[in-house]
Amino acid sequence: MAHLAMATGFLLILIGAWGALTNRNLLRMIVAFTIADTGVNLVIIAVGYMRGRTAPIIDGAVSAADAVTRIIDPVPQALVLTAIVIGVGVTALMLAYTYRLFEKKRSLDIRDYTDLKG
Amino acid sequence: MSALYIIAVGLGSAFVLGMLNERQKNLGYVITLAALTVMSAISAQWLIIFAATGAHPIDIFTAGTQPPFAINLRMGVIESALTLLISLTGLLSAIHMGNALVARGRRAMAVLVIAIMALCGIVLTRDIFNLFVFFELIVIATGGMVLLSDDERAVSAGFKYLIVSQFISVLLLIGIIFAYHATGTLNIDGMAEQGASAFALAFFLMFIAVIAELKPFPANGWALDIYESSHPGFSAIFSAATGTAVLFAVDKLLLIGGAEWFPVASGVGIVTFVGANLLALPQTNDRRLLGYSSIAQTGLILTVLGQQDILGQNYLFIAGGLLLAHAVAKAGLYWLSDLVASRQLTAWAALKERPLLVFAFVTFVAMLCGLPPFPGFYAKWELAHALAAEGRMAMLALILFGALLEAGYLFRWFGYLIKRESDEKVVCSATQAIPVFAAVIAGWVLGFVWGELSVTRFGLNNLLLTLPLLFALSFLLIEWAPAWLKNTVAIGGMVAFFVMTYAEYDPLRLIFAVIFLIGGAITLLASYSAHGRRVGFYPAAMLMYAGMIMLIRTTDSFGFFAAWELLTVGSYFLILRGKESEPHALSYILFSLGGAFLILAGFALAASAVPPAPTFSLANLAALTAPVAPWVFVLLAVGFMTKTAAIGVHIWLPGAHAEAETDVSPMVSGILLKAGLYGLFVLLMAMGKQQLFGIELTHALLWIAALTALLGNLMAIFQEDGKRLLAYSSIGQMGYAVFGLALMNHLGWLMALMFVINHYIYKAMLFLSVGGVAKRTGTRDMYKMGGLITLMPLSFIATLIGIIAVSGVPPLSGFGGRWIFYNAIMTSDVRMPMVILFLAGPIAFLYLFRLIYTIFLGQLKDEFRRVKEAPFWIVLPQMIYVALLMIFAVFPGIALRRVDEYLNQFFPEGGLGWSGNEITSAYGYWNPVSIMIIICVIFGVLLAWLMFVDRKAQKVKQFNIVFSAEAPYRPETTHFAWNFFAPYRKALGFLVLPLATMFWGTITGLLHTGADIARRFYTGNGQTYAFHFLLFVIVAYAIRIGF
Amino acid sequence: MSFDWMKIPYSLLTLFIVVNYGFLLNALIQKIGARVGRRHGIPIWQNYVDMIKNYGLRSSITHGVMFYLGPVFRLSGGVGLLLFVPTIYGSYMFSNLSFAGDLILALYFVFFGTLGMALGAGESGHPHAAIGITRGLSQMTAAELPFGLAVFSVALQYQTLSVTEIVAAQQGGILNWTLFTNPLAVTAAMLGFLGSMMRPPFDVVLAPQEIPIGPPTEYHSSYLALMQTNRAIFPVAKIVIYMNLFFGGADDWLTFCFKVFLIYLWSAFVGVVFPRFRVEQSIRWFLVWAVPLGVLSIVVV
Amino acid sequence: MAMKPELMKRMVKGPDGLEFEVEPLRDYYCEAPPTVMPAAYIKIVEDLFNWARAESIWILGFGTGCGAIEMRPLMTPRFDAYRYGVQWRPTPRQANLFIISGYLSTKTLKRAIRAYEQMQNPKYVIGLGSCTINGGMYWDSYNTIKRLDDYLPVDLYIAGCMPRPEALLSGFMDLKKLIRAGKGEGANKYVENFDWYKANQKRVIHDWDMPDYNW
């Protein structure tokens, strides 16, 4: 299960990377990045997963005393939350950028934005 | 206050800014500045505490728990220094960007504060995931700050940056999570305890991702676009602060990775350093160039991080010195670039009307190039020594090569600034000036601090506390004064310093001291002829003289090298003052720095071979043994010979000496060249004969010197430009002097000294008189002159005496040199090089005659019929030189006798005998007084006789010549001067093919072509850059596995 | 310093003898050249007459100070060169003023007159003078080289730079002469000698019709008289050095006259046989034929 | 009077930007008039000098007309004038004897005058061939001068068309006698009658473009 998730995660990352490298359209690139981000998040979750354990929420079901043996590693889950937030931030920023770029040149092709080079 | 407040203040003020009304822009700005000030103050407070008490770093536990259960921050002396640097850069940039920030409003300010906070966070945090978060914050903040620019292209640059950042963050995250998986902790120190070998791939991903944030070559196209297009205030942060923070992050990761990852850092670093510097060569856009330079500098520091296995406790001193110099200078330059309207490098010429801004620029460039007295200099010195001590000479060579490239484009830029024309006006408001000059002050303060550190740590010398340098720098403070006043102060200072110290020199050094100080003072008399304030002249000249006198006063290699660099830089500024001197000054500084780097490498290598001592005394050179010794000898000798313009590395000299100002040429020719000779003296005194691959190195030196003498003289005879002729003649004369040294016997050295003295006197005199003529006629082309003898009689006399002396004809002092030469070669066991020198001797007559004939004799041209004698102050030193030459011709013993005795300690055999006025050697004898009297009597009698028999001679004019019974057409067609030695060119012209020029031209051409080809990979396409990045990662991994 | 004032009249005596010998020798050589052309040539005393005539010219012009001083430099160079070298070996009387310096002094003093003359001719403003000087100087650089090498070789051979000691080392039989002990050096030097005598094939410097006798083209009257005097002294003075270095010196005036004549004859002999070289040709000739011998002599000695 | 452009007055700008006038004839040439050069004060010295002058005749190597061809054989073994102290010099400064060898066109006259004046006092002129006496076969030419004596002080004529080298040798012998007798004072005569000579010269030379006396 965990391996499947991890494999899927990596597959998503590769798909995202492939998409970001092959699509010329800015919006498609952003979509590709979100796919890759999702893949990363999946990988993180998969790393933290331990077979047969429960969610790391200490409440009635799991007491603080036996948490160590019963819950899965909470840290990756915490990390993933942060990563998602950051991913959203970056995606939003990229979209804002795309908007500005489109306003300027009415084009979404990345090849049109090579004024700076060398 | 706890360091946590740095983060807290940053976040808090960003929130406050977010809550402000859209129109409360000024309030927002005040809050921003206040926040940044508080952050700086906290950092400064900690820095002072740590620096003063030497306390251990403090850990701050955020959730009140120990790691790994909570994030912890650490504040130590390094962290406090770096956060201070970052927040100060932020504060000054905020001041600098005031208008832009206020115009964009509170959001922009919040983003700025967040950026600085995040950068400080990177420095402070000890948690790897926290590091990632701060990184992402920086990415987002950078994305926001890029939009501050007025440049529309910045948007696309920002987007490219975001694309690559996405890839980086993916790698970083995956790396972190697997590292966590392997170690069970996110704490850096926790990971470090376990070592990275267990999760090498994960570590590699993290490591390469963080390194990618340093924009390693060649995966850095996106960053350059940011550098080029964003607001310079932000570029300053991007370069100085971001670079600093990320470097520290790399350092932390290396803590995890351990020593086995050092080579990766070194490899990436050095490739980046050399590659980025190479690519910077063809740049014409100032900010992009600075971007490349930033990347290169971070690459260098990365290299240093990778060398920490051998640097030990000096690692912080070196990395810190380089980092601070880079950060301060680069931020300063970015701020400065805002004052220049257009983006061409040549547009910086607009600054030249503002001496203070020029001074700022010079400070920054000197810091970047690691020139004394700035921190980079001390760091470079220690780095070279550390590398050499461990035998990492290839790394040292690459670093020095990269540094030379960097100096190349920076000094070329400085040349543009000084020599090009610009009609743009520079408007410098207070908000723009404050950051720049804050950086300047910071630079000098850091120079002082590093000097002090070098004293306490290594027992080196704080250059900013040495009297000659302080004297030179003090001229910066009196730049407002008129030139004559400064000139008087300069002369007074030099003479006074000589009087104060003359008892301290041994006879050999005394001769050099007299030439440097008293000789320099005499040369400076000519400077009275200049009018106005002459801004920039005196600090440069005094810097040169300070360097020279420090050179002979020092006893250790550090002082020697520092002095060498000082005199190089000072003379470079002097040479650059000439009208057309821009390319020549550049080639001068490049050859000189190249030579200086060789010297550095030589000293470093030498120091590696002797038992560790606080400083490396020059006398210790004698203790070196093979296999190190010959290499040290080669490095130092070649280094010194770049200054004496030995053949092959001579091509800088003619232009530099010819294009320099009238009173500068005698300084750089008559005096400066002697520094190289002094170096060779020191080298040979200590090391003597060395063998490499069975070749006696002094014999190689003999050949080089002889060829230099021959080719220098040969090239001199084909010059049309009078000062160039003299310059080539200097090359030849230096060849003689080096030859004397390389003979390695008593008289050889005495001859070299004789040449030192003679060459100073007559070359200074000739340069002054030819310079004076050029000043009056407005041209240096000799064939355009002619017949000036009656109009400029004193200059003629000086030239006449000069050429007789140079040619070695008795009774003047040049003969003494020749006589000693013949006696010296009698004892030498090598004979073939003498053949070349014999050929070189008479060739001197050719160019000397050409010099005096084409200028002073022959036909007077119409437009010069009314020229006057050169100005009094230019003639006066010439007349002093004439007197000196006469005195020295008749009584050479004044100078030579004591030296002759002194040389006995090196070569007890073969000294001269001094009985009465007669000078004897083992082979011959010579009586200068008798010679002078006899020749004067014969000459006088014959002159009297001629005046008696020819008392009625009719004085005629220039066209009263027998012209095959025709009348000459015009003076221009009658003055035989152009291509004067055409038959000689036919016979031996093939010897003066400019092979050396072609060689160096090809090398620079290849570098530029290579850089241009490399530039094509920087297509400007964000996807391509992303591809570069992935490729970089893959290649780095492949190489890593291959290890 | 104590100075033997008798040196002055002794030196003047040397000078007197050499001037007269030089005048006659020049004429004799010229006559020999004429005989090769089947002419009688000038009378043997012709040079005296020419000199008196030139002093007797009533008018003269001057182009300036250096022009005026040129012949003075020239003659001083000749006289000095003569007097700095001992003429007769073993004779205090004719050791002249050689106490002032050794061989090197003489070698470099050769250029004193050359340089002064070049300057004087230069001030005349005549382009032909300048052209002649460039030719002369160019040729000199190559022609002096084999001689310089030979001198070095000889100095190395005898381990001294003192002319007297070099002559002393050659005493005791003709086979002790450098000519036989160091033939390579002598050969090189004698080839170089051709170049310094301004005779064919190395006389393009003067080229009487092309650049009317080159440097002295503007000189006349008493200037010319001075230069003629030098023409009598200088070759002899120069040959004296050759004689002392390579041919055992001279014990008395008879040997002196004989040796000087024979050495002089060598250049005359070559001169009447060969046509003129251009400057670059003569430079190449010296570098190809004479210099290697000189180099060899240094290596071998 | 036709003046060559390079000899005309002109304004020249110096390197300091100031303009001034250059007048080539004044600035390039010595304008001093020639003076009579007295003989040596002591007679015996002058006699010695005259003897030397006679025994050392240096001819200016300058041929003006077809007679120049007759001078060459004098240098050959057959005639060998060197025996008599006669030599050739390539420059007028060093020559004492100027042989006007045949007809003298007005164009050449200018060069002859210049060369003559550049010789040093005392100096001698020999007119070689009939053309120098009365124009000879060119008596009615528009382009040659008829009587050399009107333009330069001739010491000796050697008549004939052409005179053979033997005649020249004989002429030299006669000239020697004149000189030894102190009669070779053509140079002083030229100076004494300077105005007359100049007037004659300028009458035939229409493009006079040199100073009156070429030092």
Both tokens assigned to B28 = 């927002």
Q: At residue C43, what are phi and psi to the nearest 5 degrees?
A: -65, 155
pLDDT digits (tens, 9 = 90+) for B72-102: 888 888 899 999 999 999 999 999 988 888 8
**Residue listed under structure tokens 């032909």:** C128
The pairing of beta strand B72-75 with beta strand B58-61: antiparallel
pLDDT digits (tens, 9 = 90+) for B41-72: 999 999 998 888 888 888 888 777 777 777 88
pLDDT digits (tens, 9 = 90+) for B186-197: 888 888 888 878
Question: Domain A2-54+69-112: which topology?
Answer: Helix Hairpins (1.10.287)
Average pLDDT of the residues in B940-968: 89
In a 3-state reduction of DSSP, which class is residue C173? coil
**What confidence category does residue B402 fall into, taking pLDDT thresholds of 50, 70 and 90?**
very high
Both tokens assigned to C155 = 């100095």
Q: Where are the domains of chain D?
A: 45-204
Torsion of CA D159, D161, D162, D163, to 10 degrees: -30
Q: Where are the beta strands (DSSP E) in B230-308?
A: none
Average pLDDT of the residues in B256-279: 89
Find chain C residues with C-beta within 8 A of B804's C-beta: 115
What does pLDDT average to over chain D? 90
Q: At residue D100, what are phi and psi to the nearest 5 degrees?
A: -85, 105
Both tokens assigned to B638 = 């070649």
pLDDT digits (tens, 9 = 90+) for B637-680: 999 999 988 888 888 888 899 888 888 999 998 899 999 999 99
Is pLDDT of B799 > 90? yes
Q: CB burial class (10 A; 0-12, 13-18, 19+) of residue B150?
A: exposed
Q: Which residues are paired to B963 by β-bridges?
A: B966
Is residue C262 within 8 A of residue C254, CB to CB? The reply is no
Is residue D147 within 8 A of residue D134, CB to CB? The reply is yes
Find chain B residues with C-beta within 8 A of D24's C-beta: 959
The pairing of beta strand B695-696 with beta strand B691-692: antiparallel
B964 Cα to chain C: minimum distance (Å): 8
Q: Distance (Å, rounded) from C-alpha B983 to C-alpha B989?
A: 9
Q: Cβ of C68 and B845 within 8 Å?
A: no
In a 3-state reduction of DSSP, which class is residue A74? helix
Q: Which residues are paired to D87 by β-bridges?
A: D58
**Residue listed under structure tokens 């005629």:** B956
| Model pLDDT, residue D2 | 64
- Touching subunits for chain A (3+ Cβ pairs under 8 A): B
Q: Cβ of B954 and D32 within 8 Å?
A: yes
* Nearest residue to B985 via CA among B750, B717, B726, B797: B717
Average pLDDT of the residues in B754-758: 89
pLDDT digits (tens, 9 = 90+) for D172-181: 999 999 999 9
| Model pLDDT, residue B613 | 60
The pairing of beta strand B925-926 with beta strand B913-915: unpaired
Looking at the partner chain, which of B173, B186, B228 has a beta carbon nearest the beta carbon of A44? B173
Rounded to an integer, what is the distance from CA B381 to the centroid of its chain? 14
Give the sign of the dihedral formed by CA B80, CA B86, CA B92, CA B95. negative
Q: Distance (Å, rounded) from C-alpha A36 to C-alpha A41?
A: 9
Q: Distance (Å, rounded) from C-alpha A33 to C-alpha B163?
A: 8
- Cα–Cα distance list, B552 to B501, B555, C23, C64 (Å): 12, 8, 59, 47
B in contact with D (at least 3 C-beta pairs within 8 A): yes
C33 Cα to chain B: minimum distance (Å): 28
DSSP string computed for chain C: ----TTHHHHHHHHHHHHHHHHHHHHHHHHHHHHHHTT---S-TTHHHHHHHHHHH----EE--HHHHHHHHHHHHHHHHHHHTS-SSTT-STT-TTGGGB-HHHHHHHHHHHHHHHHHHHHHTT-HHHHHHHHHHHHHHHHHHHHHHHHHHHHHHHHT---HHHHHHHT-SSGGGSHHHHSHHHHHHHHHHHHHHTT-TTS-TTT-TTTSTTSGGGG--HHHHHHHHHHHHHHHHHHHHHHHHHHS---SSHHHHHHHHHHHHHHHHHHHHHS-PPPHHHHHHHIIIIIHHHHHHHHHH-
| Model pLDDT, residue D44 | 92
Is pLDDT of A50 > 80? no
Tell whether pTM > 0.90.
Answer: yes
Looking at the partner chain, which of D12, D18, D30 has a beta carbon nearest the beta carbon of B960? D30
Average pLDDT of the residues in B625-647: 88
Higher pLDDT, D45 or A62: D45
B63–A contact, CB cutoff 8 A:
no
* Nearest residue to B369 via CA among B413, B303, B338, B424: B413
Minimum Cα–Cα distance from B854: chain C residue? C122
Q: Distance (Å, rounded) from C-alpha C291 to C-alpha B838?
A: 11
Is pLDDT of B521 > 90? yes
Is residue A25 within 8 A of residue A33, CB to CB? The reply is no
Is residue D171 within 8 A of residue D156, CB to CB? The reply is yes
Q: Where are the domains of chain A?
A: 2-54+69-112
Half-sphere exposure of residue B531: CA atoms within 13 angstroms, side-chain side: 1
Q: Cβ of B835 and C295 within 8 Å?
A: yes
pLDDT exceeding 90 applies to what percent of chain B?
Answer: 38
Q: Where are the beta strands (DSSP E) in chain C?
A: 61-62
| Model pLDDT, residue B611 | 67
Q: Cβ of A76 and B186 within 8 Å?
A: no
Chain C, 119-158: which have a CB under 8 Å from a chain B CB?
Answer: 119, 122-127, 130-131, 133-135, 137-138, 140-142, 144-145, 148-149, 152, 155-156
| Model pLDDT, residue B1043 | 56
Is residue B93 within 8 A of residue B331, CB to CB? The reply is yes
Q: CB burial class (10 A; 0-12, 13-18, 19+) of residue C38?
A: exposed
Q: Cβ of B162 and A90 within 8 Å?
A: yes
Is residue C157 within 8 A of residue C182, CB to CB? The reply is yes
Lowest mean pLDDT among B826-835, C64-73, D20-29: B826-835
> How many Cβ pairs within 8 Å bridge chains A and B?
117
Q: Which residues are paired to B125 by β-bridges?
A: B73
How are strands ordered across the β-sheet holding B918-920? B913-915, B918-920, B925-926
| Model pLDDT, residue A13 | 92
Average pLDDT of the residues in B930-950: 91
pLDDT digits (tens, 9 = 90+) for D165-215: 999 999 999 999 999 998 889 999 999 999 999 999 999 998 888 898 998
Is pLDDT of B514 > 70? yes
Q: Residues in chain C with pLDDT < 50? A: none
pLDDT digits (tens, 9 = 90+) for B3-46: 888 899 999 999 998 888 888 888 889 999 999 999 999 999 99
DSSP string computed for D16-65: TS-EEEE-HHHHTS--PPP---PPPSSHHHHHHHHHHHHH-EEEE----S
| Model pLDDT, residue B620 | 79
Minimum Cα–Cα distance from B226: chain A residue? A116
Half-sphere exposure of residue B356: CA atoms within 13 angstroms, side-chain side: 12
Looking at the partner chain, which of C38, C43, C220 has a beta carbon nearest the beta carbon of D94? C220
| CB-based contacts of B665, cutoff 8 Å, min separation 6 | B657, B658, B723, B726, B767, B768, B771
Is pLDDT of D98 > 90? yes
Is residue B90 within 8 A of residue B145, CB to CB? The reply is no
Cα Rg of chain A (Å, integer):
19
CA end-to-end distance (rounded Å), chain A: 48
Query: What is the 3-state secondary structure of B521-565?
Result: HHHHHHHHHCCCCCCCHHHHHHHHHHHHHHHHHCCEHHHHHHHHH
C68–B contact, CB cutoff 8 A:
yes
In a 3-state reduction of DSSP, which class is residue D13? strand
The one-character DSSP state at B241 is I
A in contact with D (at least 3 C-beta pairs within 8 A): no
CATH of the domain spanning D45-204: 3.40.50.12280
Chain B, 774-793: which have a CB under 8 Å from a chain C CB?
Answer: 787, 789-790
- Identity of residue C300: V
| Model pLDDT, residue B182 | 86
pLDDT digits (tens, 9 = 90+) for B122-155: 999 988 888 999 999 999 999 888 888 888 888 8
- Cα–Cα distance list, C158 to B256, C169, C184, C291 (Å): 77, 7, 15, 21
ipTM: 0.90
What does pLDDT average to over chain B? 89
pLDDT digits (tens, 9 = 90+) for B561-589: 999 999 999 999 999 988 888 899 999 99
D127 Cα to chain B: minimum distance (Å): 18
Is pLDDT of A109 > 70? yes
